[in-house]
């Protein structure tokens, strides 16, 4: 069954409706460059029979370019390109890298978008039609994902939307590369997460994530000879968030779905200033005492944020009397409830009132580190005698221990979502480090839930959102990069 002319007309109509809906503008300062060359005999080859189409795009007006048969449609919003550009959409006729473990490219869905490496300042969109008869038996259309090639490796593009009635998959894109629709090889096996390497800013050598938004944006710190720089990753592109004029560096700690990030701008080795990063601007904010030192540690989609030990809502700064907020991006939920502690007990702070979560049996101190949007609280429990924390989760007044991974004696939860999936770091005497996932009463090493052969060892899990996406730290040799663990449909949320 092949997409006919009616489907092509449908796709073009859909593309017209999408023009101009790409979201806010960002200044791109770098990202992971990709290559569309294959890996020789280990690669696969896409269809080359349908031809390609080129289209001239006026940077001020945007436009639509599709393949000859309409199976691939690219929508470029107005102002998304920095200059007028001839854009080409062509089916792939060269060797491609091997797909990730337990995945396959659906025939006829691999397309090259060129000029290769072109970045958008406003996200564009890509829609690819597929033949449902090519899906493996038992694999639902809803599980399909669009992947792209970065650094010669296939990586999933977050946010694929499948229209099973039209047999199309659509996604926002931030740059031109090779894209394809992939399915699992079977309905029952395979890893839970795909690994997306967020890379580094130009000239830097390492990145560390600090927070993730509800729609999969990641904020953090990029380091190298240039010092410390705040970054934001969105739609496959890594952006420099800049700093205050005259400062030596910056770092981002959190980000929301409106692309507003919180963090600090660093004046010198002793002094930092709390700031918000938005649309290329860096805005300094004050703490509850009117002081300028410190950092913005967490921000939610409503624009509430924690600075120092205060909650800022609609511009009003209110100190947390008798309560200390966690210095974690997951410490503030969408209702404005805060995770932390009062005295030696973990708790929640809600509209001026403290909810005491108590102590874990056999432990002297508990500290809340993060909470979900439905007020599940996670944190650490410590014995004064050994000072080696273990984790806990508190749900509806009941506190349950989260033990370290086998062979470890320390566990620190960093995030939890409404599906009661907890992520964080498990360690042996703080000398080793492994990212973990806790769900359904079981603690699992995240390194066992990603495709075999990935070059990254997941040393820490930093945050999780309600989509099940995890911001993590990956180590490969002497390299440390921020990673996004993207759940495969039906597998990563629970």
> pLDDT by residue (tens digit) across 212-229?
999 999 999 999 998 999
Domain harbouring 141, CATH code: 2.60.220.30
Q: Which of 190, 213, 235 is the last residue of a domain?
A: 190
> Domain boundary at 168, 190, 212, which?
190
* Percentage above 70 pLDDT, the chain: 87
pLDDT higher than 60, residue 42: no
157 and 56 part of one domain = yes
Q: Which domain holds residue 69?
A: 5-190
The phi, psi pair for 15, rounded to 5°, reads -65, -40
- Residue 333's contacts (CB-CB under 8 Å, 6 or more residues apart) are 300, 371, 372, 373, 375
Backbone phi, then psi, for 14, in 5-degree steps? Answer: -60, -40
pLDDT in tens, 195-212: 999 999 999 999 999 999
Confidence of residue 484 (pLDDT cuts 50, 70, 90): very high
Domains: count for the chain: 2
Say if 230 falls within a structural domain: yes
| 185 and 240 part of one domain | no
Q: Do 141 and 199 fall into the same domain?
A: no
Are residue 109 and residue 153 in the same domain, yes or no? yes
Q: Which residues pair with 43 in a beta bridge?
A: none
Phi, psi of 26 (to 5 degrees): -135, 150
Residues 107 and 157 in one domain: yes
CA proximity to 399, closest of 356, 430, 335: 356
Same domain, 157 and 297: no
Is residue 451 in a domain? Answer: yes
- 3-state per-residue secondary structure call for 194-234: EEEECCCCCCCCEEEEEEECCCCCEEEEEEECCEEEEEEEE
Same domain? 171 vs 260: no
Tokens coding 482: 């921020």
Question: Where does 255-323 have alpha helices with state H?
Answer: none
Same structural domain, 319 and 227: yes
Closest CA to 390 of 342, 353, 418, 427: 427
177 and 224 share one domain: no
Q: What is the reported pLDDT for 51? A: 59
The mean per-residue pLDDT over the stretch 441-468 comes to 94
Same domain, residue pair 206 and 180: no
Q: What angle do CA 26, 263, 373 make, to 5 degrees?
A: 90
Q: What is the pLDDT of residue 54?
A: 81
In this structure, what CATH number is given to the domain that contains residue 385? 2.130.10.10
Tokens of 245: 């004029």
Q: Is residue 493 part of a domain?
A: no
Same domain, 185 and 201: no
**Beta carbons within 8 Å of 176's beta carbon, 6+ residues apart:** 87, 113, 114, 115, 116, 117, 118, 119
To the nearest whole number, what is the mean pLDDT of the chain? Answer: 88
Instruction: Summarize pLDDT for 375-418 with one digit per residue, the tens.
Output: 999 999 999 888 899 999 999 999 999 999 999 999 999 999 99
Out of 142, 166, 190, a domain closes at 190
Name the maximum alpha-carbon separation found in the chain.
73
The CA dihedral of 440, 441, 444, 450, to the nearest 10 degrees, is 0
Paired strand residues for 110? none
**pLDDT interval class at 19 (50, 70, 90):** very low
Assess whether pLDDT exceeds 90 at residue 25. Answer: no
Q: Residue 336: is its pLDDT beyond 50? A: yes
Q: What is the pLDDT of residues 107-165, one digit of tens each?
A: 999 999 999 888 999 999 999 999 998 988 778 899 899 999 988 899 999 999 999 99
Instruction: With cut-offs at 50, 70 and 90, classify the pLDDT of residue 8.
Output: very low
- The token pair at 26 is 């960002």
Q: Is residue 404 part of a domain?
A: yes
Angle at 255 between CA 253 and CA 256, to 5 degrees: 155
Structure-block tokens of residue 103: 């995945």
Which tokens sit at 130? Answer: 């597929």
Q: What is the pTM for the complete model shown?
A: 0.75
Which tens digit of pLDDT belongs to each residue from 66-81?
999 899 999 999 999 9
Does residue 494 lie within any of the structural domains?
A: no
Tell me the CA distances in angstroms from 111 to 33, 35, 50, 139, one per residue in order: 17, 13, 11, 23
> What pLDDT is stored for residue 184 in this prediction?
85
The answer to whether 411 and 427 have CB atoms below 8 angstroms apart is yes
Which residues, 6 or more positions from 356, have their beta carbon under 8 angstroms from its beta carbon?
A: 342, 345, 347
Q: Which residue has the higher pLDDT, 35 or 438?
A: 438
Q: Are strands 103-105 and 53-57 parallel, antiparallel or unpaired?
A: unpaired
Is residue 259 a part of any domain in this protein?
yes
* 184 and 301 housed in the same domain: no
Per-residue buried b or exposed e for 389-407, using 16+ beta carbons within 10 Å of the residue's own CB: bbbbbbeeeebeebebbee
The three-class DSSP label of residue 14 is helix
């Amino acid at each position: 069954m092949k997409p006919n002319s009616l489907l092509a007309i449908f796709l073009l109509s859909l593309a017209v409706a999408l023009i101009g809906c790409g979201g806010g503008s960002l200044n791109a300062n770098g990202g992971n460059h990709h290559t569309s060359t294959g890996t020789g005999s280990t690669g696969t080859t896409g269809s080359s029979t349908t031809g390609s189409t080129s289209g001239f795009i006026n940077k001020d007006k945007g436009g639509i370019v599709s393949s000859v048969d309409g199976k691939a449609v690219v929508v470029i919003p107005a102002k998304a390109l920095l200059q007028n550009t001839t854009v080409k959409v062509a089916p792939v006729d060269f060797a491609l890298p091997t797909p990730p473990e337990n995945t396959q490219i659906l025939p006829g869905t691999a397309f090259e978008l060129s000029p290769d490496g072109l970045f958008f300042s406003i996200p564009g969109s890509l829609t690819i039609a597929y033949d449902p008869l090519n899906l493996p038996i038992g694999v639902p259309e809803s599980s399909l994902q669009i992947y792209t090639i970065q650094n010669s490796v296939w990586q999933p593009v977050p946010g694929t939307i499948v229209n099973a009635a039209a047999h199309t998959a659509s996604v926002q894109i931030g740059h031109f590369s090779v894209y394809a629709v992939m399915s699992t090889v079977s309905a029952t096996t395979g890893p839970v997460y795909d690994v997306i390497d967020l890379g580094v800013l130009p000239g830097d050598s390492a990145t560390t994530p600090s927070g993730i938004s509800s729609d999969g944006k990641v904020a953090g710190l990029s380091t190298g000879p240039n010092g410390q720089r705040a970054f934001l990753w969105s739609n496959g592109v890594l952006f420099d968030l800049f700093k205050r004029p005259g400062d030596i560096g910056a770092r981002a700690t959190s980000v929301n779905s409106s692309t507003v990030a919180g963090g600090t701008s660093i004046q010198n080795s002793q002094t930092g200033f709390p700031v918000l990063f938005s649309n290329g601007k860096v805005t300094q904010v004050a703490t509850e005492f009117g002081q300028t030192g410190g950092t913005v540690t967490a921000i939610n989609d409503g624009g509430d944020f924690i600075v120092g030990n205060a909650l800022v809502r609609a511009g009003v700064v209110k100190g947390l009397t008798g309560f200390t907020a966690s210095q974690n991006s997951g410490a503030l939920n969408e209702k404005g409830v805060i995770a932390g502690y009062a005295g030696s007990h973990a708790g929640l702070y809600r509209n001026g009132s403290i909810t005491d979560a108590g102590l874990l049996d056999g432990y002297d101190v508990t500290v809340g580190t993060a909470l979900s949007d439905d007020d599940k609280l996670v944190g650490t429990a410590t014995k004064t005698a050994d000072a080696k924390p273990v984790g806990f989760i508190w749900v509806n007044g009941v506190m349950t221990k989260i033990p370290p991974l086998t062979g470890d004696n320390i566990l620190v939860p960093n995030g939890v979502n409404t599906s009661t999936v907890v992520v964080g770091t498990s360690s042996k005497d703080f000398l080793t480090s492994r990212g973990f996932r806790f769900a359904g009463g079981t603690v699992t090493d995240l390194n066992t839930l990603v495709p075999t052969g990935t070059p990254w060892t997941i040393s820490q899990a930093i945050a999780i959102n309600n989509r099940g996406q995890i911001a993590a730290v990956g180590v490969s040799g002497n390299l440390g990069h921020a990673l996004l663990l993207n759940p495969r449909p039906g597998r990563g949320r629970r």
